[in-house]
Structure 1
Amino acid sequence: MELNIQIPAHTADIFDHLQKGLFINSNSCDENIRQMYDEIDDHLEALSLYFAQIGYTLERGNEYFYFSRTEPRITLEQKIARAYYWIDILDLFKTFNETFGPGYRFQPEQILVEANINVMLQNKLDSIRKHTSDKEIRKDVLDNIIRQLVKDSFLELENEKNNVYKVMSSWHYLERLVESINIYDETEEDEKPE
């Protein structure tokens, strides 16, 4: 079957970005990323069909796009470990500030200062060490978390001089991941009338 669709001129750039496992966010600090977002938004159906032909699924989130792809089976243990990591990351940042989400701006130093007076935040930051080396100090743990979140396109360095980071729209992806976990309360079943 021949595919006769009109694809945008920058499709190669969009593919190169998404195939790395990155997100294209509407609120990116990078104008090129925002332009790619607009181009996908304007040509979503054509791009979805085009990428489907080469085995990629173009997914739309809340103000972001990403690729999903059928992957080889990953062991259950690896999936659980990764889910724990993301839950801990979300928990850490929401403990720092309940409004932490897309568009939020912060400096890592703010989190470290808050951790010095907020025992709960301190404990959460310390508990993330289990995902890394136990020998790391809090600043190193936080720097590694932020570096990974930037690499995965959940955060961007908005102002290098002041070390200000901006939370991308793709943060919704992590929130949706955690929200999709269903925990059933056994006491509800016990309280059902007979």
Structure 2
Amino acid sequence: MELNIHIPDNTAALFDCLQKGQFISSNSCNEAVRDMYDQIDDHFEALSVYFAQIGYTLERGNEYFYFSRVEPRTTLEQKIMRAYYWIDVLDLFKTYDETFGAGFRFQPEQILVEANINVMLQNKLDGLRKHFSDKDVRKDVLDNLIRQLTKESFLELENEKTNTYKVMSSWHYLERLIESIQIYDDTETEDNEKPE
């Protein structure tokens, strides 16, 4: 069986986007990104082989694509701090709205208004200060967070006039990351046996 190795003409553009650590999501507001998603989807096997030859692993998620890379050894502490950050981010948005996920639309101002009446949301937003600057006010923390999530292609500005953001399919990556964390409760196992 021979692998169809037809590489799309816009492979350089695909590579340029993915090698920056960005995700290509099927539900992007940007038509060019949706076209890139379709190109990768149509030629996934050929592109996987092609990119593997130059040291990149093309990964398929739930309606998104990204490059994974073999990272140099990082310390356990760095990995734990990064995991804490993503837990805090997802916790904030799920506290704002339990249905927050891919396809969800929101305006940052709505989160700030809700934080004024919801003490739990207020605390979660204040807790994110440690990841940015302790001196920032809530609005600055939220603006920095949204700017970062947009840069990393988890969010897109859908409507500039209304300042409405759309959550990309790549959000599933963050959810999957958090769901992969397994915590075992010793009180639930007999004789201190760990589940397999």
1:10 aligns with 2:6: no
Find the aligned partners of 1:128 and 1:190 in 2 and give their Cα distance. Answer: 38
Map Cα deviations across residues 54-100 of structure 1 (whole Å, 9 max, x no partner): 00000000000000111111111111101100000000000000000
Between the aligned partners of 1:135 and 1:190, the Cα distance in structure 2 is: 47
Cα distance in 2, alignment partners of residues 5 and 178 from structure 1 = 35
Identify the residue that residue 33 of structure 1 maps to in structure 2: 33
Give the match for residue 72 of structure 1: 72
2:51 corresponds to which residue?
51
For 1:4 and 1:146, locate their aligned partners in 2 and report how far apart those are by CA, in whole Å.
Answer: 40
Secondary structure class of the residue paired with 1:58: strand
Alignment partners' CA distance in 2, 1:180 and 1:72:
21
Partner SS, residue 7 of structure 2 = coil
Residue 155 of structure 2 contacts residue 168 of structure 2 at CA under 8 Å; is this kept in 1? yes
**What is the distance in 1 between the residues matched to 2:71 and 2:119?**
40
Counterpart AA for 1:184:
Y
User: What is residue 63 of structure 1 aligned with on the other side?
Assistant: 63
- What CA distance in whole angstroms lies between the structure 2 residues aligned with 1:161 and 1:4? 45
- The answer for the alignment partner of 2:114 in structure 1 is 114
Aligned counterparts of 2:159 and 2:22: Cα–Cα separation in 1: 21
**Kindly tell me: are residues 35 and 184 of structure 1, through their superposed partners in 2, closer, same or farther at Cα, counting changes over 3 Å?**
same
Alignment check: 8 A CA contact 2:4 2:46 kept = no
Paired position in structure 2 for 1:92: 92
Identify if the C-alpha distance between structure 1 residues 164 and 4 changes in structure 2 by more than 3 Å, giving closer, same or farther.
closer
Instruction: Give the corresponding residue for 2:167.
Output: 167
Aligned residues: 191
8 A Cα contact 2:156 2:165, kept in partner: yes
Deviation above 4 Å: which 4+ runs of structure 1?
none
Displacement after TM superposition at 1:4 (Å): 7.8
1:182 alignment partner in structure 2: 182
- Give aligned-pair identity as a percent: 79
- Structure 1: runs of 5+ lacking an equivalent: none
What is the CA-CA distance between 1:169 and the residue it aligns to? 0.1
Whole-angstrom CA distance in 1 between matches of 2:144 and 2:91 = 16
Shift of 1:12: 0.5
Specify the code of the residue in structure 2 equivalent to 1:181: I
Cα distance between partner residues in 2 of 1:9 and 1:110: 42
Which structure 2 segments of 5+ residues have no match?
A: none
1:28-79 CA-to-partner distances (Å, cap 9, x unmatched) read 0110000000000000000000000000000000000000111111111111
**TM-score normalised to the size of structure 2?**
0.95
Partner of 2:130: 130
Residues in 1 aligned to 2:33 and 2:88: alpha-carbon distance in whole angstroms: 28
Task: State the distance in 2 between where 1:100 and 1:191 align.
Answer: 40
Structure 2: how far apart are the matches of 1:45 and 1:71?
Answer: 23
CA contact (8 A) 2:14 2:36 kept: yes
Taking the aligned partners of 1:77 and 1:40, their CA distance within structure 2 comes to 35
Residue pair 2:25, 2:169 contacting (<8 A) in 1 also: yes
